[in-house]
């Protein structure tokens, strides 16, 4: 079953032995001396070796820290990125026991053949090649046993270490380390829940079904559970190996990589957070195959809208708009030094726009924004770190596959396609229908709701007002709300029409857009004239 970790419910007594072991390792590697200042920090290599010695949870924690360039110097980040997650393979008896407990049947009953040697063995799980009784070639991902107890103990130890450090050294509170530990625990929960990974695979297959040069292995649901995941076998070779043998195919494959990344982000709010060459294969027919959906990110619609505004502001060099869009992505931030943040963002955009466009990196731009935000009190959401990491890994892989490829050209081409799709008649009609329903509900509910609220005020803080006065006030407010909703509806027509006029669409879309704009302007004028006549009548 999937591992579920809650740092708030971790027991100090349960974690005490592990905590003492961790403290001994940290002391031996001179970590405790680092509390006296940066001059006493251990070397980057020693930090990496310490995490590897502490085992699975700390290797994963080091990989999370490698995404936080806003917290650590580059030398430490570069070293932490070298953390390997390869462990000795489990024996076939342990694998068989896990599969049979999870699937509720003997291994031989579920699979016609099952390779004893794993294809890969990592910290969380290992993958075995197998064949179903109906002849299907599959890959079986089996989780390591006893993960729940091990990870829960280590998370508890990390939680108490962070609390102790903040009590002894209050300046550490500015780093929000408890939040980092909680996000790390949530990340492990997601990564060790194979049922969630199976759902992610289904969502990605649906979202990318129209990408012709891509194939994602399907899940075999009957042979999958929270700790066992069976998928179709992908018989391809790593994309970096393929690139050395077939350099002429790289422009097409890179365009596919860019498309799948941007399309899933802006259309579905999903993204693969670990698109390194080991997770991207090329099939014999030349299609890409995307693997390992254990680390994925999700963006809700408001965050996607803010991300769109942020990208537009970065492209235009509008620091003020970039600041507002960035803060919308981190709504929980308090005590933000907005003036200093604006200056830092201006510096980031200046560096971007003084560079050659072909050398611009979206991942580096996001990383610079994260650093600027952390310096000025912004509590960056965990999904933004994952997204930044995904772009950094993708861009690094593209440079490795084809150093001369115009990555920003592929990016602009895909953004243009998504923009045209976003401003399609079907999309605008759908949004207009939703807006009309909301306005209809608002117009229907507003008068009654307003009267009820004002009546309650009249019985309390506004008790001096007579009931007729309150009712009259309620009537005026209701009429104003009705005029306001009408004005909003006409404004929506103007905005929707302007979108159609400006979008790169066929000419009949422009005619429809101009008609909507004229109707919206005419309706707005009627509302204004009606309001002026009523005001003149009251006077």
Provide CB contacts within 8 A for 71, sequence distance 6+.
65, 175, 374
Q: Known catalytic residue: 367? A: no
Nearest CA among 299, 250, 253 for reference residue 273: 299
Spatial distance between the Cα atoms of 260 and 206, rounded to a whole number of angstroms = 12
Residue 142: C-alpha distances to residues 90, 147, 182, 236, 530 (Å):
10, 12, 26, 21, 70
Sheet holding 280-282, edge to edge: 214-215, 288-290, 280-282, 237-238
Nearest CA among 100, 126, 130 for reference residue 114: 130
Spatial distance between the Cα atoms of 448 and 199, rounded to a whole number of angstroms = 44
Residue 146: C-alpha distances to residues 8, 87, 129, 292 (Å):
20, 15, 23, 22
Characterize the bridge pairing of strands 214-215 and 228-232.
unpaired
Strand partners, 232: 138
Nearest CA among 435, 416, 422 for reference residue 494: 435
Q: Are 97 and 143 in contact (CB under 8 A)?
A: no
Residue 534: C-alpha distances to residues 108, 453, 523, 529 (Å):
83, 25, 17, 9
Nearest CA among 165, 156, 163 for reference residue 184: 156
Q: Are 191 and 57 in contact (CB under 8 A)?
A: no
Provide CB contacts within 8 A for 458, sequence distance 6+.
465, 467, 470
Q: Which of 154, 193, 213, 274 is catalytic?
A: 274
Provide CB contacts within 8 A for 471, sequence distance 6+.
451
Q: Which two tokens stand for residue 513?
A: 């857009």
Residue 16: other Cβ atoms inside 10 A: 14
Q: Are 217 and 373 in contact (CB under 8 A)?
A: no
Q: Are 62 and 48 in contact (CB under 8 A)?
A: yes
Provide CB contacts within 8 A for 157, sequence distance 6+.
15, 18, 19, 22
Characterize the bridge pairing of strands 214-215 and 288-290.
parallel
Spatial distance between the Cα atoms of 396 and 403, rounded to a whole number of angstroms = 10
Spatial distance between the Cα atoms of 102 and 141, rounded to a whole number of angstroms = 12
Active-site positions read 274
């Amino acid at each position: 079953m999937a591992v579920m970790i809650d740092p708030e419910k971790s027991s100090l007594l349960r974690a005490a032995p592990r905590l003492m072991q961790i403290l001994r390792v940290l002391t031996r590697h001179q970590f405790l001396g680092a509390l006296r200042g940066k001059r006493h920090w251990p070397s980057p290599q020693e930090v990496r070796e310490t995490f590897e010695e502490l085992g699975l949870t700390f290797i994963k924690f080091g990989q999370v820290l490698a995404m936080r360039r806003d917290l650590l110097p580059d030398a430490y980040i570069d070293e932490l990125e070298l953390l390997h997650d390869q462990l000795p393979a489990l024996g076939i008896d342990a694998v068989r026991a896990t599969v049979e407990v999870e699937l509720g049947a003997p291994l031989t009953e579920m699979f016609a053949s099952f390779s004893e040697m794993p294809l890969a063995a990592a910290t969380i799980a290992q993958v075995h090649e197998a064949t179903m009784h109906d002849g299907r070639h599959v890959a079986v991902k089996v989780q390591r046993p006893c993960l729940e107890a091990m990870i829960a103990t280590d998370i508890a130890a990390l939680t108490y270490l962070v609390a102790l450090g903040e009590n002894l050294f209050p300046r550490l509170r500015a780093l929000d380390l408890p939040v980092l530990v909680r996000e790390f625990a949530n990340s492990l929960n997601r990564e060790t829940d194979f049922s969630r990974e199976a759902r992610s695979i289904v969502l990605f297959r649906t979202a990318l079904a129209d990408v012709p040069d891509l194939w994602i292995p399907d899940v075999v649901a009957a042979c999958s559970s929270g700790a066992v995941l069976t998928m179709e076998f992908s018989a391809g070779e790593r994309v970096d190996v393929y690139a050395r043998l077939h350099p002429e195919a790289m422009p097409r494959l890179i365009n596919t990589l860019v498309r799948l990344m941007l399309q899933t982000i802006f259309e579905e709010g999903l993204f693969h957070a670990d698109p390194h060459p080991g997770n991207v294969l090329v099939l014999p027919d030349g299609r890409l195959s995307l693997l390992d959906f254990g680390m994925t990110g999700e963006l809700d619609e408001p965050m996607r809208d803010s991300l769109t505004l942020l990208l537009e502001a970065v492209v235009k060099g509008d620091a003020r708009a970039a600041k507002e869009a960035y803060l919308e992505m981190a709504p929980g931030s308090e005590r933000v030094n907005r003036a200093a943040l604006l200056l830092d963002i201006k510096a980031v955009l200046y560096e971007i726009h003084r560079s050659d466009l072909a050398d611009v990196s979206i991942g580096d731009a996001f990383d610079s924004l994260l650093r600027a935000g952390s310096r000025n009190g912004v509590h960056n959401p965990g999904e933004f770190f994952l997204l930044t990491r995904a772009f950094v890994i993708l861009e690094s892989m593209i440079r490795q596959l084809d150093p001369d490829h115009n990555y920003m050209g592929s990016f602009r081409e895909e953004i243009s396609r998504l923009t045209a799709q976003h401003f399609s008649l079907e999309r605008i009609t759908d949004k207009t229908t939703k807006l009309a329903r909301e306005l209809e509900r608002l117009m229907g509910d507003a008068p009654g709701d307003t009267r009820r609220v004002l009546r309650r005020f009249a019985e309390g803080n506004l008790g001096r007002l007579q009931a007729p006065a309150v009712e009259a006030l309620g009537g005026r407010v209701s009429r104003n709300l009705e005029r306001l909703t009408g004005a909003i509806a006409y404004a929506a027509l103007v905005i929707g029409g302007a979108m159609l006029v400006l979008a790169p669409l066929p000419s009949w879309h422009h005619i429809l857009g101009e008609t909507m704009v004229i109707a919206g302007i005419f309706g707005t004028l009627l509302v204004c004239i009606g309001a002026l006549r009523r005001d003149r009548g009251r006077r």
